[in-house]
Structure 1
Amino acid sequence: MTFEPASPANGAAWYAEQFERQRRQLRAVAYRMLGSFADADDAVQEAWLRLSRADETAIDNLAGWLTTVVGRVCVDMLRARRARREDLPGTWLPDPVITEADTLDPEQSVLLADSVGLALLVVLDSLRPAERLAFVLHDMFGVPFDDIAPILEKSPAATRQLASRARRRIQGSGTRPDPDLPTQRRVAEAFLAAARNGDFAALVELLDPDVRLRVDTGPRTWLAPPLLTGARDVASHAAAQGPRFAGPWEPALVNGAAGMIARGRAGLIAVVGFIVVNGRISEIDLILDPDRLAAVKVND
């Protein structure tokens, strides 16, 4: 992360210009922290409001100050969200980043999947807010622990431990897909074909024994089970839903990995992301919530 020193002599217009230069980076931090574009935009907007009320002469490092503010806002939002979700049924999945399959080269897709893969964001969402912040800022954006520690009101050593715990959880989660995107696509397309045909045996062969299927239906929890685990249960569910897979599915990249999208007259009606590891599907994340999908843009 590049920090540009501020100069009080430049005035409010200079600060506004510098904020706009930092906006994309701040949104990237907030998305990885929150997994929601709307919440990320709210966090960035809150940083701007706080900057407009701040004593500009006291800010020596504008980019660092803004990152600190966004980090604190995100931690507060995560804590409030966790309290709310305890009363909500079903599964919540992060907002997907959807790119049409032929608009991203393989190297770019690998970088995107490593940094903001959908399954990785699911694991990040299981972390405590402080662990998530320490990992995101240090491991994804290279912010030193000495700069992260004041955000969490902890020592640099304690902050390092938080990031280390988060890193161990992520490394053991198997959320990094195979780097060969054509293989990912072949496996995803084979899954779709087997599901359409109700071919239970073929589905089991394509699935990791410990595969997880997560379904986000929003408040419509009766539409599908929120979580299934194990190849036989996931294959049984997919085979039983065969007619649904006969619709207008098209390949796409979902957070840089192989996926599928289905569109209706009003826009997206379903998004599914796959994590393919060693030639088998280990994660399937399906978003069916129409309210969420109405706000999702392809090639965002």
Structure 2
Amino acid sequence: MALTYEVELFERSRGRLEAIAYRLLGSAGDAEDAVQETYLRWHAADRERIVTPEAWLTKVLTNLCLNHLTSARVRRETYVGEWLPEPVLAGDRMLGPADTVEQRESVSIAMLTLMERLSPNERAVYVLREAFGHAHREIAEILDLTEANCQQIHRRAKQHLTTDRARAEIDAASARKVVEEFLAAALSGDTEPLVRLLTGDAVSVADGGAKVQARRAPVVGALRIARYLRGVFRRTEAKRARFASRPVLHAAVVNGGPAALVAVGEQVVGVICLDATPDGVRGLQLLVNPDKLERITRQWVATGPHRPVAEMW
């Protein structure tokens, strides 16, 4: 009976732990592994000595993630091409709380990518403070730091992540409108409609992970991105031959922002996240690495059927 109670106590914390780990690691798969390891340590711990289970679990999980970030940084230095976070569909508990602007921003693909620049401690302090509202005293205890040091790290992290343009607030209807407009321009075969949708300093990044061909360097500037996308969306026999059926384009909300999902049958083969602002789309993240599309494919199938926006190629 006691064991059942302890399992139930952990399960009540699982969603929050997954959301913390996802923000720290940028990978839903790695987040699940970190939470499972936390459970194993919880199961083996002398729980009579644990005064506050939630604080204990958060500390164990965070430190597991910090260790993982240190090794992941080494692996990502040899990653083929650009590395992007694993995309997560709206409704997934990995996204965690979304009540405040800070919480929504902390899980965007753009912000998760930007957080790769932070040290592990900076990332942990920023996530625990901005996304989960922990006091600096609590974070200091989790990370074995002084409260003053924790405050300094938080200020430094915020400086590294400062952006001068707000994202557009997106719901499902707004996301579909943004995606429909983007795909209409991308499929037109003309660069001008795309240029009008993008900010002048827009950046496009693609992640194929050496599993699928993808541009290895970022594309910068509205005109260059428009020309690049014109090639991506151009219909050719070679592209059609890659798939058993024609890829279908859908509108979705991914990591809190508008995205175009490319699906072949029940398999998501690509995700194009649009970093939409009131001034236009300032960033595109194209994810085609199949290793990062397994979870979103399961989500997509489970929440279907979906109304397509267009066919590709």
TM-score normalised over the length of structure 1: 0.86
1:138 aligns with 2:134: no
Tell me whether 220-229 or 249-258 shows the greater mean CA deviation.
Answer: 220-229
Q: After superposition, where does 1:204-219 map in structure 2 within 5 Å?
A: 204-219=195-210
Aligned residue number for residue 85 of structure 1: 76
Contact 2:87–2:293 under 8 Å retained in 1: no
1:298 aligns with 2:299: yes
Tell me whether 36-45 or 289-298 shows the greater mean CA deviation.
Answer: 289-298
TM-score normalised over the length of structure 2: 0.82
Partner secondary structure for residue 96 of structure 1: coil
Superposed CA RMSD in Å reads 2.6
Amino acid at match of 1:40: A
Q: Report the CA distance shift for 1:215/1:285 in structure 2 as closer, same or farther (over 3 A).
A: same
* CA–CA separation in structure 1 for the residues paired with 2:126 and 2:102: 17
Amino acid at match of 1:230: G
Amino acid at match of 1:19: F
Aligned residue number for residue 167 of structure 2: 177
Aligned residue number for residue 262 of structure 1: 262
Q: How far has the Cα of 1:136 moved from its partner?
A: 0.6
1:273 aligns with 2:301: no
Identical pairs, percent:
32
Unaligned runs of 5+ in 2: 92-97, 240-245, 303-313
Q: How far has the Cα of 1:99 moved from its partner?
A: 3.8
Q: Report the CA distance shift for 1:78/1:228 in structure 2 as closer, same or farther (over 3 A).
A: same
Tell me whether 184-193 or 81-90 shows the greater mean CA deviation.
Answer: 184-193
* CA–CA separation in structure 1 for the residues paired with 2:217 and 2:104: 23
Which residue of 64, 67, 71 maps to 1:73? 64
Q: After superposition, where does 1:43-192 map in structure 2 within 5 Å?
A: 43-99=34-90, 113-172=104-163, 174=165, 176-179=166-169, 181=171, 185-192=176-183
Contact 2:103–2:132 under 8 Å retained in 1: no
Q: Deviations over 1:147-168 (max 9, x none)?
A: 2123333211111111122222
Amino acid at match of 2:285: D
Tell me whether 206-215 or 114-123 shows the greater mean CA deviation.
Answer: 114-123
Aligned residue number for residue 242 of structure 1: 233
Tell me whether 40-49 or 151-160 shows the greater mean CA deviation.
Answer: 151-160
Aligned residue number for residue 103 of structure 1: none
Q: Deviations over 1:42-91 (max 9, x none)?
A: 11111111112222121100000000011100111011100111122211
Aligned residue number for residue 27 of structure 2: 36
Amino acid at match of 1:193: A
Contact 1:43–1:70 under 8 Å retained in 2: yes
Partner secondary structure for residue 218 of structure 1: coil
Tell me whether 263-272 or 150-159 shows the greater mean CA deviation.
Answer: 150-159
* CA–CA separation in structure 2 for the residues paired with 1:221 and 1:249: 18
Q: Report the CA distance shift for 1:129/1:96 in structure 2 as closer, same or farther (over 3 A).
A: same
Contact 2:175–2:251 under 8 Å retained in 1: no
Q: How far has the Cα of 1:112 moved from its partner?
A: 7.1
